[in-house]
Amino acid sequence: MIKKLLVPVLLIFPVLADGQIIMSNSTLNVCSGTYMDPGGSSNYVDNSVFTQTICSSSGNCVSLSFTTFGLEPGYDFLAVYDGPNTSSPQVPGSPFSGSFSPGTVTSHTGCLTLAFTSDFVTTDIGWTATISCVTCPPPPPPPPPYAWTQKASVPASGRHRAVGLNIGNRGYAGLGHINAITDVLFDDWWEYDPGTNSWTQKASFPPGPRMHACGFTIGNYGYVGTGRDNSGIEQNDLYRYDPSTNSWTVMASMPGSGRRGAVAFAVNGKGYIGTGSYGASFYEYNPVSNSWTAKAPVPGPGRISAAAFSIDDKGYIGTGDTGGPNVDFYEYNPTTNVWTTKAPLNIGPARMEAAGFELEGYGYIGTGADAQSGNNFDDFYRYDPASNTWLQIVNYSGAARRYMSTFVLGARAYGVFGTSGTNYNDLWEYGNMNSIEEAAVVSIKTFPNPFNEKITFSIPRNVQLNDASLRLMNISGQVVKTMEHISEYEFSIDRASMAKGMYFYELTINENTRATGKFIAE
């Protein structure tokens, strides 16, 4: 589109006579007006960098209601901060890009700060928003202290391109391969018991070793299929696992050609498998009739190694390798057989080979890489289907990796296996630390609690400190301090840079969590 040059007066006097306010690097105290991007009535320009704070002039809280919004998707961004500067927390969904408007955003502190950046090529219409001042809403509740906690590793070889799923209150993981020197495929299948934090080997996958397969759960059965076998042949088969008999049963094969790197989920008693091997085809499995039906293909380019999950009666697929990493994200409605484009995962780097799962009504995507054998990630993001927004959460606490498998048990999600060039067999649990019992096995004393300068931890002397470590985490689940190879039963920790607030500790011995608890820094 043709761009119009702005007359210099717009940059010097951003508040125009007709109530239009053009974004500039300044602070404003206003309660009315039409707020526009730096291009005003024209497209914004390339290579823009602007930061502006808008505060209420009436003592209330400023609010912006966006009526138009359009930025170059994935390259130009508007970040909105709930406060007087860019150190304030971002509002949900920020930064915004493409056609996904911020809607109405209201400050909890009186001010909103907006930071706009555009890259070196391609622009768009920008935005228009109405400024008002309203009664300040109550402050948002602090986020629950979710965190990753290491659990018992699988007593088997590390690997990647494996399968993970849950059946009842047990997790299952297996298959996969190692391809660092020679390509070694696996057919073993393992069951995880969260009550005892232990793994038990189960009946192997009957067709033999398989990598890059996928799986879903319907009722009391797990279903595993597709992937590449030991002969290098991509399969379209499906097998059902029954944990009550520890047995596998061959089911109807999926129509179409074999594939690897497909994704799967289940909705309302039916299973779905799609994409893989750079394709976009998508199929529905009916376990009652043991039959398949072709459905609407996944939008966008064909892909491999995407991430998927289901929330209530919808399925979701996004990211993956489409000839390179991607940020796109789609929702599937099985009732109408219609795909809908949703907010892309563009608040982090584009990725492929990521992990995905659903937990407590939210979707999660994280880890992965930016290219085949490229940079590995440990970041994670939460998707809210109600607001169609993404929020970055606490990073994965294990090593950055790609091809991690996942399963969910109740209010806990688990990540297992994966590779960064090194193949892993470790297991990590993600959940709300407020629901963790404060003394699982060991009763630790902390004093003084609350504390100012130093806090002392006292461990009973009848505990064997074999490979003992202590992690301290803030209320957001971020690790602020780690003590490895603890050999003393009583020790003190300096406050150092810990800010005022509540913190959590976790004592692990031989990679098993033995105690957790809380303490307060005044």
Q: How far is CA 317 from the centre of its chain?
A: 13
Percentage of residues in the chain with pLDDT exceeding 90? 69
**For residue 491, what are the CA distances in angstroms to 444, 467, 468, 506?**
12, 16, 13, 15
489 and 372 in a common domain:
no
Q: pLDDT tens digit string along 333-364?
A: 999 999 999 999 988 899 999 999 999 899 99
Task: Please check whether residue 148 lies inside any domain of the structure.
Answer: no
Q: How many CB atoms lie within 10 A of CB 25?
A: 12
Q: How far is CA 434 from the centre of its chain?
A: 20
Task: Please check whether residue 150 lies inside any domain of the structure.
Answer: no
- Does residue 58 have a pLDDT over 50? yes
473 and 407 in a common domain:
no
C-alpha count within 13 angstroms, C-beta hemisphere, residue 455:
21
- Does residue 501 have a pLDDT over 60? yes
Provide DSSP, 238-282.
EEEEETTTTEEEE-PPPSSS--SS-EEEEETTEEEEE--TTB--E
In this prediction, residues 484-489 reach a mean pLDDT of: 83
CATH number at residue 367: 2.120.10.80
Tell me which of 397, 431, 465 is where a domain ends.
Answer: 431
417 and 271 in a common domain:
yes
pLDDT of 181: 73
60, 137 Cβ separation under 8 angstroms: no
Q: How many CB atoms lie within 10 A of CB 122?
A: 14
pLDDT of 435: 54
Range of the domain at 459: 445-521
Q: pLDDT tens digit string along 189-248?
A: 999 998 889 999 999 999 999 999 999 999 989 999 999 999 999 999 999 999 999 999
In this prediction, residues 428-434 reach a mean pLDDT of: 84
Q: Which residues contact 338 (CB under 8 A, 6 or more apart)?
A: 296, 332
CATH number at residue 480: 2.60.40.10
455 and 357 in a common domain:
no
Helix (H), strand (E) counts: the chain: 1, 43
Residue type, 249: T
299 and 259 in a common domain:
yes
**For residue 87, what are the CA distances in angstroms to 139, 324, 412?**
17, 33, 31
Provide DSSP, 380-449.
EEEEETTTTEEEEEPPPSS--BBS-EEEEETTEEEEE--BSSSBB--EEEEEEGGGS-S-SS---EEESS
Copy the structure tokens of residue 297. Answer: 């293909």
Provide DSSP, 67-79.
EEEE--TTTSEEE
pLDDT of 462: 64
In this prediction, residues 303-332 reach a mean pLDDT of: 96
176 and 300 in a common domain:
yes
Looking at the 3D structure of the chain, how many domains does it have? 3
Task: Please check whether residue 421 lies inside any domain of the structure.
Answer: yes
276, 298 Cβ separation under 8 angstroms: no
117 and 184 in a common domain:
no
402 and 288 in a common domain:
yes
- Higher per-residue confidence, 200 vs 75: 200
50 and 108 in a common domain:
yes
**For residue 175, what are the CA distances in angstroms to 40, 103, 155, 438?**
57, 45, 14, 36
Task: Please check whether residue 229 lies inside any domain of the structure.
Answer: yes
pLDDT of 93: 78
Q: pLDDT tens digit string along 178-204?
A: 986 789 999 999 999 988 899 999 999
464 and 333 in a common domain:
no
Task: Please check whether residue 149 lies inside any domain of the structure.
Answer: no
- Does residue 9 have a pLDDT over 80? no
281 and 203 in a common domain:
yes
- Does residue 439 have a pLDDT over 60? no
- Does residue 108 have a pLDDT over 70? yes
Task: Please check whether residue 439 lies inside any domain of the structure.
Answer: no
Q: pLDDT tens digit string along 119-163?
A: 888 999 999 999 999 999 887 666 667 889 999 999 999 999 999
Task: Please check whether residue 318 lies inside any domain of the structure.
Answer: yes
pTM of the model: 0.65
CATH number at residue 29: 2.60.120.290
**For residue 25, what are the CA distances in angstroms to 46, 68, 79?**
16, 21, 14
197, 183 Cβ separation under 8 angstroms: no
Q: CA angle at residue 259 from 254 to 265, to 5 degrees?
A: 60
Task: Please check whether residue 154 lies inside any domain of the structure.
Answer: no
354 and 397 in a common domain:
yes
In this prediction, residues 12-31 reach a mean pLDDT of: 79
**Strand order through the sheet with 329-333:** 307-311, 314-318, 329-333, 338-341
